[in-house]
Amino acid sequence: MAEFTIIGAGAIGGIVGTALAEQGHAITFVDANAAHVAAVRENGLRLSGFRDTTVRCPALLPDEVRRPLGRVLLAVKSPHTEQALATIAPNLAPDGYVVSLQNGLEEYKIARAVGERRTVGAFLTFGGHYKGPGKVVYGGPGTFKIGELDGSRSPRIEELRSILSALQPVDVTDNIFGFLWAKMALGAVYFATAITDSDVTDLYADPRLRTILGRLAGEVVAVGEAQGVRFEAFDGFDPKAFRPGAPWDEAAVAACWEGQLRYWNRHEGKRTGVWRDLAVHRRKTEVDRLVGAVLDVAAERGITAPGVTRLVELVHEIEDGRRGQALANLDELAAVLQV
């Protein structure tokens, strides 16, 4: 059995850690939420939703991490990556490595801190959310891929694939950044759904709204391809179908939305974690680290992305209490995108 330290015991970290613990692997959770850590120590980590179980594993606060770390699964939100790396980097064993289970392009940041050789990329679309101290909800399966940053098929990536398949089937890819950037394109779509107060599936049912959302995805594709990224399709969604500068293949576009509807109809909830951050937790989102990261690359490449730019502004207005979540917010995007 393998030993893993999971930094971030919220939704993704909790879901993956629970599955591994049930297979007999030695799991240690590390989380900055003292109430969550205390609850896990006292009652175990309770997983509900798509799976219902409780596991009992050691739980630590970040300043309690002392021993050399071998296999690390990093599952904190992107604004907390640097803080987590301050705990990981000085404690990471020479042959240890960090697997990013995060949204965004955090692999670049991790590699700068611990080295590319000790960084593994991961792409996942299964859902879940933190419910409260000691409680995590699993929304259901999705796609799960892992890959070395250089695209090689190493022994450790094969070992990881086998172990992580305890949760659901895991595939190895030689183009992890193609998937990560593809998720950034879909992420722009998800952020746009979150500025409304409607279910994702209801938004996808409206042809005009699908066009707005597709144009946003297309802006991300234009930026990524300028960066040399080869976009991959996942969960029935192929960002290349929304590539700007040429007429869309309507059959390919329709297949994307049909794939997304199948994905969402398999899940318990019909709204994103971003929507929950804004509407339920009333907290800042990862918009600057996710959608904003696309704008950073766009600026470097001299590319304009007016729709994505306005989307980030709208999210900030909602975060600051200057705007509510409403369907009319998509009209603001439509005006900028000229839809």
pLDDT at 140: 86
Residue 273: pLDDT band with limits 50, 70, 90: confident
**Domains observed in the chain:** 3-174 (3.40.50.720), 178-337 (1.10.1040.10)
Sign of the C-alpha dihedral, residues 132, 135, 137, 143? positive
Phi, psi of 188 (to 5 degrees): -60, -40
Say whether pLDDT at 274 is over 90: yes
Percentage of residues in the chain having pLDDT higher than 70: 100
**Nearest-5° angle of CA 51, CA 148, CA 151?**
125
pLDDT at 48: 96
pLDDT at 6: 98
pLDDT at 83: 95
User: What would the pLDDT profile of 111-157 be if each residue is shown by its tens digit?
Assistant: 999 999 999 999 998 888 899 999 999 988 889 999 999 999 999 99
Q: What's the rounded mean pLDDT across residues 172-187? A: 96
Residue 272: pLDDT band with limits 50, 70, 90: very high
- Spatial neighbors of 123 by CB under 8 A, at least 6 apart, are 143, 144, 145, 146, 147, 173, 176, 179, 180, 183, 234
pLDDT at 295: 95
Token pair 């590539």 in the structure block, residue = 243
Residue 271: pLDDT band with limits 50, 70, 90: very high
Q: What's the rounded mean pLDDT across residues 20-44? A: 97
Q: Which residues, listed in sequence order, are joined to residue 132 by a DSSP beta bridge?
A: 135
Say whether pLDDT at 267 is over 80: no
Cα atoms found within 13 Å of the Cα of residue 58, Cβ hemisphere only: 14
Residue 337: pLDDT band with limits 50, 70, 90: very high
Report the predicted TM-score, pTM, of the whole model to 2 decimal places. 0.89
Residue 117 CB coordination number (10 Å): 13
Q: What's the rounded mean pLDDT across residues 176-194? A: 97
Mean pLDDT estimate for the chain = 95
pLDDT at 266: 80
Amino acid letter, residue 116: E
Q: What's the rounded mean pLDDT across residues 90-108? A: 95
User: What would the pLDDT profile of 278-290 be if each residue is shown by its tens digit?
Assistant: 999 899 999 998 8
Residue 18 belongs to what H/E stretch? helix 11-22
pLDDT at 114: 97
**Nearest-5° angle of CA 139, CA 140, CA 145?**
120
- Spatial neighbors of 289 by CB under 8 A, at least 6 apart, are 77, 78, 79, 81, 104, 106
pLDDT at 211: 97
User: What would the pLDDT profile of 187-237 be if each residue is shown by its tens digit?
Assistant: 999 999 999 999 999 999 999 999 999 999 999 999 999 999 999 999 889
pLDDT at 1: 87
Percentage of residues in the chain having pLDDT higher than 90: 89
**Nearest-5° angle of CA 137, CA 85, CA 59?**
45
Q: What's the rounded mean pLDDT across residues 17-40? A: 97
- Concatenate the DSSP letters of all residues of 241-303 into one string: GG-TTS---HHHHHHHHHHHHHHHHTSS-SS-HHHHHHHTS----STTTTHHHHHHHHHHHT-
